[in-house]
Structure 1
Amino acid sequence: MSSTLYALTAIAIWATLASLGSALSHVPPFLLTGLALIIGSMPSWPLVLRDRAAWKVPKTTLALGIYGLFGFHFLLFIALRHAPTIEANLVNYLWPLFMVVLAPLLLPGVSLRPLHIVAALLGFVGAAVAILGARSGTAPSAVTEYWGFVPALGSALIWASYSLWTKRVAAFPTSAIGLFGLVSGALALVCHALLEPSATLVGKDWMLIVLCGLGPLGAAFFVWDMALKRGDARQIGILSYLTPLASTALLLLVTGRPLTWSIALAAALIIAAALMGSRASGRAGRAPAA
């Protein structure tokens, strides 16, 4: 299986995350994050039982994995719970652009070109269109829902910085992602017990949580890592810009929501900005993908 097929498989799986998160918006975010991450780590359990080295990573690498997996998904689920789903999803998918813009700050030897600035402005215009188009009225609840875009932006920043920082740590086996997920999931469940009210999950909830764990919070990470280890990160990174388009299209299908001009324009601007930022990197090739 080629690196491109691995990457496209991960993208197809990630496209379901926002839809699953929206369907599970009634589940406390810490509980949802914890259960899904633990389920997602299960495919690597047999490997570590056979060889303990499968999960052998430095403490700093483990901390980075927890920061990425736990932080990103928790903030994303919070955003999907408090903001209009499609617009929050579009804001979250500024992460490919952030990876390019933050590269000079987080990676040595990477510079920022003028085209990067243009791409950054275009991306933020797209985010503004998504946010402003989320509400056409002046209902009191509108102000509250706007705050839901803050965690969406935070999740994008976390995933971008996590992806860049993985280029600065020692290489780790793909199986170690299972350790990241297991520890992050356990941490999320502790937070749920301490900070959230208890919740009763019905059969449908469990089915969706299992799908969420085995798919976008599990298999996608393993498959994406395989793609990066086998192919050119620059080419694979460009493929990641298909994710917001696929994710938004699936959300429209699942929610039965019409494709309004603001959603279409925001999607076009964000995707165009991400592609422009990636192209501006030119030969540097130092903007890795998640």
Structure 2
Amino acid sequence: MPSASPQATIIGSIAILLWSTLALFTTQANAVPPLLLLALTFGVASVLFFIVYLFKGELRRSWRKTPTSAMVMGGLGFFLYHFCYFYAFQHAPPVEAGLIAYLWPLLIVLMVGMSRGNSLLWTHLVGAVIAFIGTGIMLQSRSQGSQIEGTALGYTAAFACAFLWSGYSVSNRRFAHVPSSSVLWYCAITTLLAAGSHLALEPSQWSFSASTWVAIIGLGFGPVGIAFFCWDMGVKRGNLSLLGVLSYTAPALSTAWLGLFTEEVLSQGQIVACLMITAGALFASLMPTKKINRTLPTSQ
């Protein structure tokens, strides 16, 4: 496997910054049913990618170079993760839902540590314990300004987000040979799945405020659009271990945006939990496995 590209790692880190705004935009679009929100945001992203790759003349090449197995994994991964994410934010307080969902960087480190040719170090285990203690503290606290009462399904959906995205990111290394333009097809599949599910399961509702439409378009262009291209390139060609470390800043950034730009009032427990989750994930990465770049398979 070729060595990690510094440029790809930098591009991958842009996705982390964009994803830190995902919770903020999602709270602004909470009036939209989750499947409809999924269809609209990924529809915006699909149109964006289609126009870009049409002008670059890469549509046919991308279709030929993207195997069906990659399309299925990417489309289902995007669909399931974001449905769980949007559902969690509508059925659990935003701060709690966001911090639970952002356990995925820690899970990436643990999954890599348990992969073939690597070993799970004591720092991984201690970091995991610290982060999960922080999660427990957070679940015991309550946001003073939140108008959403947490439900078991809401919190479960947030935990599912963490496992879905970490699993997708590690598994995606098998498709390092697939061009990053493949995210167009992943987004298109997600849009079709979400639209069909919305028509079958949700009541039709289109009367949204202007600010909600701005949030939908913002989601489609940023954390749901451009971020995926950046992350796809980063995890396939960059330093996945370093990207995992950088990802640990996302929970703090995401919580900060919610505190600054929404009516959410952060409790002391939530602040402590945020710091513990971030610190635990960082501690888990202090002694990364030395064979990470050699042992993560590019194909199976």
Asked if Structure 1 and Structure 2 have the same fold, meaning a TM-score greater than 0.5 normalized by the shorter chain, the answer is yes
For 2:91 and 2:236, the matched residues in 1 are separated by 37
Tell me the residue number matched to 1:118: 126
For 2:104 and 2:226, the matched residues in 1 are separated by 20
Q: Between 73-82 and 227-236, report the one with greater CA deviation.
A: 227-236
Q: Once superposed, what is the RMSD of the aligned Cα atoms?
A: 2.4
- Relative to structure 1, is the Cα distance of residues 164 and 230 closer, same or farther in structure 2, using a 3 angstrom cutoff? closer
For 2:253 and 2:39, the matched residues in 1 are separated by 25
**Contact 2:142–2:267 under 8 Å retained in 1:** no
Tell me the residue number matched to 1:91: 100
Alpha-carbon offset, residue 99 of structure 1 = 1.1
Deviations 1:202-241 (A, max 9, x none): 3332222111101100011112334445643322331111
Alpha-carbon offset, residue 194 of structure 1 = 0.2
Letter in 1 for 2:100: V
SS at match of 2:46: helix
Structure 1 unaligned spans of 5+: none
Deviations 1:139-179 (A, max 9, x none): xx95x534311100001100000001011235211111111
For 1:68 and 1:244, the matched residues in 2 are separated by 21
Deviations 1:108-164 (A, max 9, x none): 22321222222222121111111111279xxxx95x534311100001100000001
Letter in 2 for 1:11: I
Tell me the residue number matched to 2:227: 220
4+ aligned runs moved over 6 Å, structure 1: none
Tell me the residue number matched to 1:161: 167
Q: Which of 242, 264, 282 lines up with 2:271 in the alignment? A: 264
The residue correspondences of 1:49-88 to structure 2 (distance < 5 A) are 50-51=57-58, 52-56=60-64, 57-88=66-97
Tell me the residue number matched to 2:239: 232
Letter in 2 for 1:225: D
**Contact 1:48–1:54 under 8 Å retained in 2:** no
**Contact 1:48–1:55 under 8 Å retained in 2:** no
Q: Between 189-198 and 279-288, report the one with greater CA deviation.
A: 279-288
For 1:37 and 1:177, the matched residues in 2 are separated by 11
Alpha-carbon offset, residue 82 of structure 1 = 0.5
Structure 2 unaligned spans of 5+: 1-5
Query: Number of paired residues?
Result: 282
Tell me the residue number matched to 1:45: 50
Q: Between 48-57 and 108-117, report the one with greater CA deviation.
A: 48-57
Tell me the residue number matched to 1:148: 154
For 1:244 and 1:3, the matched residues in 2 are separated by 22
Letter in 1 for 2:30: S
Alpha-carbon offset, residue 58 of structure 1 = 1.4
Letter in 1 for 2:106: L
Alpha-carbon offset, residue 282 of structure 1 = 3.3
Q: What is the aligned-residue identity percentage?
A: 33
Deviations 1:237-266 (A, max 9, x none): 311111111111001112233332111111
For 1:241 and 1:85, the matched residues in 2 are separated by 18
Aligned: 1:127 with 2:135: yes
Tell me the residue number matched to 1:241: 248
Aligned: 1:11 with 2:19: no
Deviations 1:96-117 (A, max 9, x none): 1111222355x42232122222
Tell me the residue number matched to 1:175: 181
Tell me the residue number matched to 1:186: 192
Aligned: 1:197 with 2:206: no
For 1:115 and 1:171, the matched residues in 2 are separated by 32
SS at match of 1:67: helix
